[in-house]
Amino acid sequence: MRVEEKIYDKNVREEIKKRVAGKVDLQLGKKGLTDSFLREVEERLKRQGVVKIRILKSYIRSSEKDRRGIAREVAEKVKARLIEVRGYTFIIAKNKVKAGR
């Protein structure tokens, strides 16, 4: 799943490429979307602009949402853009985005 908006900020595009190929920044576990988890995501977005998060199966079992729904919820709560969902991993970014054509 990809976002419809095109990312024009070159630095953010490069950071997304690194995150796609790189390691996971955070793991969303059975404790779920706690305030501390969301604060950590926001902090990393401020520093890096892009965060790669893995959803552990224990959280999916305990929640009633699918992985795409969880990814959308996290992005919405931290006011970021959902860039991509692959399997149990998703990437969110906070950047300058213009609407796609």
Residue 63, pLDDT score = 84
Is 25 in contact with 49 (CB distance < 8 Å)?
no
Residue 77 lies in a domain: yes
Q: Tell me whether residue 51 is in a domain.
A: yes
In a domain, 89, yes or no: yes
Domain that holds residue 50: 6-93
Return the structure tokens found at 38: 């969301």
Element at 96 (helix H, strand E): none
> Both tokens of residue 89?
């991993």
pTM, rounded to two decimals: 0.76
pLDDT tens digits, 38-97: 999 999 999 888 899 999 998 988 888 899 999 999 999 999 999 889 999 999 988 654
d(CA 40, CA 48): 12
* CA-closest candidate to residue 68, choices 46, 49, 91: 91
Residue 15 in any domain: the answer is: yes
Query: How far is Cα of residue 29 from the mean position of the Cα atoms in its chain?
Result: 14
